[in-house]
Structure 1
């Protein structure tokens, strides 16, 4: 009895040995390829099956008489893959992309222990991604895109520690993306599925196109609801302090600018006497240099003033027309001033001069005309004589000050004067 049992054991072991030898034989590769040819249609039917070795067949590549690569892309293959492909135990690359193969991946794929590159994209494979794929430890590139795979993405992809590329786009996958932390994936795409939930942080560096067409959130897509505020707070602690400090500095600068602007404006509207004090070194001229004449032509007075300017380097008031009382610039600057109004070209003051003369003085602002041009224009105005025009009595020009002196019309307006409702009232010089 013991002898018979021993004999049976030896026969069984010898059979397994013979099976292993046959399984590792090139003939088994040929048989596996013929099974594939019978199961699917397409151009592989053109294989010369009378040849003893399949290594000369289209898409079949061998090393040492063993099939190591099977490339049949776009060959018009249709139907389902048969059992038997797992006998290609030396196979390293399998490419069946862009055909019309349907059904599921045969379970004997698990025997392809040397397989590194598996390209099945562009077919009609369906069902869940089979678990036995996660035992193929040598896989480096796995492309299952553009098929009809369904179900969830298994975290068992972490078992494929050499995996670098995983393409699963354009399928019917559902659920969340697992945190695939074991394989250092360099290329990853799950776009155009039915996935939901947040994108794992390790994939945040990828392009957004790898996740579009789903209901996913998180970088590189838009932030998930309820998380944008928290992450923003963590990132903006120092930024908030900077914004506050910058805002305070900006506010102080604005206030400082407004302060100087208001101060400049108020100083410009001060009494003419105050302005004269600041500019006294520029405008103080001895009374002997005043240009005076009894003639009617303003040109003669202008000539006299120009002569004085050349001789002394300074200028005084230049008068127009007949004058009964003469005052100089010093008298005008000592006069008490009262603001009458402001216009586009400057401010008008009522100047009460100590000698008993009241004049209207217009202080021009923002006038940058050269001296020669200014004098020519003013002299033309001074020559104008009309009953409805207030005569220009004198003017003063310097680089920093430009003054026009008119008769003062008390308690009246231009409209009243033009329409004769108010008697002319003023003092002649």
Structure 2
């Protein structure tokens, strides 16, 4: 009897295992996954084989019974284009969707918001545009919504306040505008809307979060940021709340001015107008006495300031002044890592003058945006000299030279080559400096190249120089930017774009990886080397043997995975279509995620400790799957 029972139990176990082995999601879910993959170009081979169960496919996770898809995680696999409609939305039991660190464009599909079981959405580090749809408020089970570092615009929808389970909301690094809605959800523990275009005062319900959660929004105020002025707009009320219900609302009575106050304002205004008229008359008389000599001098100083695009200095002394970047002006030898740039300027007859810039310089002029540029990875301008015969920019002297000289100078037996750590830190420094120009000041560099990356003893503090000088250069194919670094769509070098800067940065990353300078003549002798196209051709054949610098191989570099991952970032930057290139802040984040020793992971998932979303590791390039 006992033997029979044992056999029955064994048979039942075998039968249940067999059922699990042959369990499969419904055909509709399998076809939805295949439709999504077919309609979305991707760079990595995923191996979704129709002859194998869908639950075993890369990035696909099913429930315990293997009967339905509950997670779709495809971070950093090179997805390009918009999320096709009527694909992912056909997975009714999907709980986690992660498509982060790809090149997804377009808006968030409305049908995606019909998945009522969704608990987590990770779409950060893409190029998603448009507004955040208000339909997100229908996702009642949603706990984590991460849309950071995209191109989203418009207001933050009030509908987010209805998500009772929401614990994490990350919207930083977008182009969102308007006021922050008062999200009163007590479960919200992780909140960030920094680096957007939001305005108004911070709602009291969100004031418990640190200042970093709101930084980079120039028109935001209120706790934890500096206090608002009395006339600053109040925050947007929560849904169902009238403006009069807002805390701190001021009644109309208190805003009314008394008759005496109005009379005082009128009298004061009249007095100010009379004083201004008297000052104008006195200025006109003194001008007639002194003659016209002072006029051109003052005008030229302002004009030079506006033309130069100079930036204020960081702390430190002016230790030297030499000429550099003469090759950019059509003659002379290329200087070392630019201590000073000589630039041709217009105007004759002005008196010579040396004007110091930056904090404590004691001289101010209208050039406000560039005057605020200050970052450890950007070389500050200390002063400019303006005369009839010479126009000079004065920088700090950095004796360590340029990245170009370190990579390519005298590759002989007595030379110490750059190791992998130094190259990674230099790549991070250049990327951070460029990202600061783009995101914090809305300025294009216009001449990103390895000879403009100047080295300090700490490679992490390398600095980009010669930024924002493109307005003074005439369009010419002889500019160094055209010697292998210039994006293919750039015709007039005086009008660079952010995407063109990213292309040049990508070429610089390839230069670090390959050890080849894009300004050197190609083996065929037909002009400068098109480094991106050369790398693409080698990758198609045998990427491991030919792409990477032989000096890294001789040093015994053991970071092949990091090198391949950085290669993928560089190839994304040099995409032929500008819109397919990432933004500079996205490049910084991707490089930071590559190596734990070179930068910290900033994704929301790693902070929460989910290993699948911790970072997007690179893999050897492969032909795309159908």
TM-score per shorter chain, which class?
A: 0.3 to 0.5
Structure having the larger proportion of residues in strand = 1
Q: Which structure has the larger Rg over C-alpha atoms?
A: 1
